[in-house]
A = this chain, B = another copy of it.
């Protein structure tokens, strides 16, 4: 019979809100990994990501690195500047196209990669160890779906 004086505002429950939960989880995990190498090697997360794709694909251009890392080209440009300066990445100019750079890890870059990659993998295993086999499979399947046509 009575109108409520205060309307129902239906506030979001952040702790059950998927985007929020994903954000917390993702940040926690990425930060844990980054803590392993940031101060120790003076290597930022963006730099590490660039190194990781160059470890997999030699000779990429900066634009291709940007595509593969899902970073924007400015971020890649800056990360590369530091990596080249630090002698971790070699940069040459593409033969038939002077705009394009041809990138690859240097000896030092490979050494660093071979130290950091196992740490990153170990952290991933720590996370996955919280799940059982079923859950791990579902998680993969779910991520495939959600990442598919974002």
What residues of chain A have their CB less than 8 Å away from a CB belonging to chain B? 9-14, 17-30, 33, 49, 52-53, 55-56, 68-70, 110, 113-114, 117, 120-121, 123-124, 127-128, 130-131, 135, 138-139, 141-143, 145-150
Q: State whether A18 touches B145 (Cβ < 8 A).
A: no
Contacts of A124 in B (CB 8 A): 17-19
Question: Majority SS of interface residues in chain A?
Answer: helix
Name which residue of chain B comes closest to A56, CB basis.
B11
Q: State whether B18 touches A127 (Cβ < 8 A).
A: yes
Q: State whether B114 touches A9 (Cβ < 8 A).
A: yes
Q: State whether A9 touches B110 (Cβ < 8 A).
A: yes
Q: State whether B23 touches A56 (Cβ < 8 A).
A: no
Query: Given contacts A12-B55, A14-B68, A138-B135, is CB(A30)–CB(B25) below 8 Å?
Result: no
Query: Given contacts A19-B124, A22-B26, A24-B70, is CB(A14)–CB(B52) below 8 Å?
Result: yes
Q: State whether A142 touches B146 (Cβ < 8 A).
A: no
Q: State whether A22 touches B18 (Cβ < 8 A).
A: no
Bound complex: CA A13 to CA B33 (Å): 16
Q: State whether A26 touches B26 (Cβ < 8 A).
A: yes
